[in-house]
Amino acid sequence: MGARLDTGVLLSHGFTGSPATMRPLADAFAAAGYRVRLPLLPGHGTSWSQMNHTTFDDWVAALTAELAELRAVCRTVVVCGLSMGGTLALRLAELYPDRVDGLVLINPSVMTSRWDARFAPLLNRMRPVVRRVLPSLAGIVDDVAKPGVREGGYFRIPTLAALSLQAAWPVVRADLSVIRCPMMLLHSVVDHVVEPRNAQIVLDETTALPTADKHEVLLRNSFHVATLDYDAALIEARALEFVRELSERSSPPTHAVPTDAVPTDAEPTDAGPTDAVATDAGPTTSTRDNTPRMPV
């Protein structure tokens, strides 16, 4: 269990979302004995109008602080993100290659082909006008195939915050080639928020990363918020498997202890209430997951 507590997992929700979207995955990591952080990003959990006062740099700064705290007590740290949370995870790996040991990305975004995105540079130069005339747009929450599931995000898109995210995409994409830590990329076949092309861009443009360290998993049964959808169990199993392998790879070698050096009546020490019994996430594989599609 000590080796597990020596590994930390930093999770991030997406744009206009909430930690609720990542809570099941965070709980799975905690139950497996890892140290877990799942912060509420600045501007979220209040109102969309408040979010208009925050930027991509604010979200990066918030996760950087969490990363530093985890790194202070963990030998290995993996960053996991959904949607924009995946974008932020990529940025942390670009900025702090010596602090991020692995990435778990779920439907990350690094671009959009939406027709209205072409106006983003112009709108960025007119921010005071945008704040008064077009402060928000229709929301993008609850893209879930499973009936009755709600992610708990804003029902409006704060325009200025969205412009900040769009301005960050080309910066993140330009630096994909510097990422060197192993990566698991899980992406939905049908996603009404982030175009599937995003996943292919991340796979193709992380050129410094060996193919063997890129693990792609197709999510055939879920829409964008896959962590709350039909593929949630698959995501948890594969993410746990990936983090376990990274943790074992970075753990110091163990040496056999002579049996006569250990008292026969020794009892295991109690690691405390925050520890959990490690679970087996299944067989190791780095191939594409082709689970048959479940009826929706």
Length of the chain: 296
Phi, psi of 276 (to 5 degrees): -140, 160
Of the residues 6, 101, 143, 191, which is catalytic? 191
- Give the tokens for residue 261: 């050096």
What is the residue whose two structure tokens read 């008292």? 263
| 96 close to 67: Cβ distance less than 8 angstroms | yes
Long-range contacts (CB closer than 8 Å, 24 or more residues apart) made by 116-123: 117/166, 120/163, 120/166, 120/167, 123/159, 123/163
Name the residue among 9, 11, 13, 35 with its Cα closest to residue 271. 35
> Is 58 known to be catalytic?
no
> Is 109 known to be catalytic?
no
Sign of CA dihedral 17, 18, 21, 22: positive
CA 246 to chain centroid = 16
Of the residues 224, 229, 231, 247, which is catalytic? 224
> Is 224 known to be catalytic?
yes
Say how many C-beta atoms besides its own lie within 10 A of residue 226's C-beta: 27
Of the residues 83, 109, 136, 188, which is catalytic? 83
> What is the distance between the alpha carbons of residues 273 and 111, in angstroms, rounded to a whole number?
43
Active site residues: 83, 191, 224
